[in-house]
Structure 1
Amino acid sequence: MSPPHRSQHPLLRITLPPLIALGVFVAAWELGTAVLAVPAFLLPPPSAIARVAVADASTLALATATTTRAALTGFLLSACFGVLAAVVLSSSRLLERALYPYTVFLQTVPIVAIAPLLVLWFGPGDRAVSVSAFIVSVFPVIANTLTGIRSVEPALRDLFRLYGAGRLATLTKLELPAALPSIVTGLRVAAGLAVIGAIVGEFVAGFSEGGAGLGILVLSAYRQLRTDLLFAAVLCAAALGLALFGVVSFTGGRLLRRWHPSARP
């Protein structure tokens, strides 16, 4: 007996279930706030958030652009520095034991506590916010890249050594290609963390040269008890993180899908 024919488009099969769940959640939220008469300053209904998002679209767009610039700068810095640092650490076990704990420190340091120092060192604005995004997002890149390089099959290393391959050839033709799935995983995690770091940095760094970011907008809406605008700003930040994650995932999938099973449909 032949299997039933699937007429649904693959993209529809992937997107339809979460869209249905989202629709049910939004409808329940809207209905619940109306039935329970929840004050708007505590929990605004989705319709109120949508109205303020349309009314303040220009403010939200400018704030999103400002945060995007800082988050993207921090993410690119973490990608470049993270891969380079992992390559350096992988060159020597002694060097790894000496320096790797300090990379863990970057992950455990409370960014809210050191954000005032970043303002003192780099000045208020984009530079301090970008450094905040970098500090928060760099560790996953270092950790995953180092794990990927360390996970190369010993037999392949012996084969390269047998044929007289130098350190640079082994790195570029064996270790980095083999570590690419782990690097992509680290970049995916770093993409979302960069947005979080940028928002936290904006809480302290204040207005940037190009205007207020989403972090400043969240604080301003909170102080004015404009919870609907606060929700709209948070949704913009979430959408920014999701977009950055999607770009990294798409790019990584394109790089890996021809040879690595993790990226195959």
Structure 2
Amino acid sequence: MKQPLLSHPAALRVLAPVVVGLVFVTAWQWACGFFEIPIYLVPTPLKVLQTLAANWSSLLGALAVTMKITLLAFATAIVAGVLFAFLLVQSRVIEASLFPYAILLQVTPIVAIAPLIIIWVKEPTPALVLCAVLVCLFPIISNTVLGLRSVNPGLLNLFRLNRATRWQTLVRLRIPSALPYFFAGLRISSGLALIGAVVAEFVAGTGGTSAGLAYQILQAGFQLDIPLMFAALLLIALAGVALFVVMSWLSRLALRGWHESELG
């Protein structure tokens, strides 16, 4: 007997959010017409799509700038976060001494320190990247440390019994055990990198060829062009979803053959 489409997990993961999204957009379109909501308050989805099509060239260029900052920050955060996590797990003393400073970075509002970073770092791109790195770094550090610590005690004793070196234990036991936690951190940090890039652009207010989506939103706000603002927000949301989907795909690609979180 053929299995119903909706009972298939992969199809359900795609169709369920699509159906919810269509219902939401339909209700939004209907409510704007029924209640006669002015376009300068909430534009209809159709008007947002028309604005997106009319301003596609400028919005696409702004998206490219924002994604450049996001990806540079995300890559930097991965390298720095993993190296810092490896340092922390070498000793409980090192972890106790340095981990509170990672927490300090996490709890410090980026809008409070971004102006200082932009003043100290003269070039716009490195300054924006650094701001975004500070936003997305902590989940990678905390999840990787948790994964490196979450080793099966029996397997760890087996490695010690066979006189495995610290390097062998790290490469053959701790790193494979940490991969599910690491990819979970990537899924969180990818979105945070985009948020950090947009917030940094808001603070910097860069224009011209270096104008990202945040600048487009600011300009639309000054001109009371609400449909353009919604179009830019739509691109930011779609970019965040795309980053999450890519990270989820990489996680499944790396873990589906052996880890229970990606089986089935």
Give TM-score scaled by structure 1 length: 0.95
Distance change in 2, residues 1:184/1:119 (3 Å): same
Deviations 1:123-169 (A, max 9, x none): 25221111111100010000001111111022222211221211111
Deviations 1:18-49 (A, max 9, x none): 22221111111111111111111111111110
Query: Equivalent residue for 1:84?
Result: 83
Task: Return the alpha-carbon distance in structure 1 between the equivalents of residues 144 and 236 of structure 2.
Answer: 27
Query: Equivalent residue for 2:74?
Result: 75
Contact in 1 for aligned 2:207/2:215 (Cα 8 Å): no
Contact in 2 for aligned 1:184/1:252 (Cα 8 Å): yes
Distance change in 2, residues 1:113/1:21 (3 Å): same
Aligned ranges 1:74-113 → 2 under 5 Å: 74-113=73-112
Aligned ranges 1:75-154 → 2 under 5 Å: 75-123=74-122, 125-154=124-153
Task: Return the alpha-carbon distance in structure 2 between the equivalents of residues 61 and 134 of structure 1.
Answer: 23
Task: Return the alpha-carbon distance in structure 1 between the equivalents of residues 24 and 241 of structure 2.
Answer: 19
- Structure 2 residue 154 is matched with structure 1 residue 155: yes
Of 2, 5, 18, 1:5 maps to 2
Query: Equivalent residue for 1:30?
Result: 29
Instruction: Kindly report the root-mean-square deviation, in angstroms, between the aligned alpha carbons of the 2 structures.
Output: 1.5
Task: Return the alpha-carbon distance in structure 1 between the equivalents of residues 207 and 157 of structure 2.
Answer: 52
Contact in 2 for aligned 1:126/1:208 (Cα 8 Å): no
Deviations 1:98-147 (A, max 9, x none): 11010001111110011111111222522111111110001000000111
Which stretch shows the higher mean deviation, 17-26 or 227-236? 17-26
Give TM-score scaled by structure 2 length: 0.95
Task: Return the alpha-carbon distance in structure 2 between the equivalents of residues 94 and 18 of structure 1.
Answer: 46
Aligned ranges 1:199-238 → 2 under 5 Å: 199-207=198-206, 210-238=209-237
Which stretch shows the higher mean deviation, 165-174 or 187-196? 165-174
Task: Return the alpha-carbon distance in structure 1 between the equivalents of residues 242 and 150 of structure 2.
Answer: 30
Which stretch shows the higher mean deviation, 158-167 or 107-116? 158-167
Task: Return the alpha-carbon distance in structure 1 between the equivalents of residues 204 and 68 of structure 2.
Answer: 15
Gaps of 5+ in 1: none
Deviations 1:79-105 (A, max 9, x none): 111111111001110111111010001
Letter in 2 for 1:141: I
CA displacement at 1:246 relative to structure 2: 1.1
- Structure 2 residue 163 is matched with structure 1 residue 164: yes
Task: Return the alpha-carbon distance in structure 1 between the equivalents of residues 116 and 77 of structure 2.
Answer: 20
CA displacement at 1:14 relative to structure 2: 2.9
Which stretch shows the higher mean deviation, 130-139 or 205-214? 205-214
Aligned partner of residue 190 in structure 1, secondary structure: helix
Query: For this pair of structures, how many residues does the alignment match?
Result: 262
Letter in 2 for 1:212: A
Query: Equivalent residue for 2:44?
Result: 45
CA displacement at 1:5 relative to structure 2: 2.9
Contact in 2 for aligned 1:89/1:95 (Cα 8 Å): yes
Contact in 2 for aligned 1:217/1:233 (Cα 8 Å): yes
Task: Return the alpha-carbon distance in structure 2 between the equivalents of residues 161 and 90 of structure 1.
Answer: 17
CA displacement at 1:208 relative to structure 2: 6.5
Task: Return the alpha-carbon distance in structure 1 between the equivalents of residues 139 and 105 of structure 2.
Answer: 10
Query: Equivalent residue for 1:262?
Result: 261
Aligned partner of residue 146 in structure 1, secondary structure: helix
Query: Equivalent residue for 1:65?
Result: 64
Distance change in 2, residues 1:216/1:124 (3 Å): farther
Gaps of 5+ in 2: none
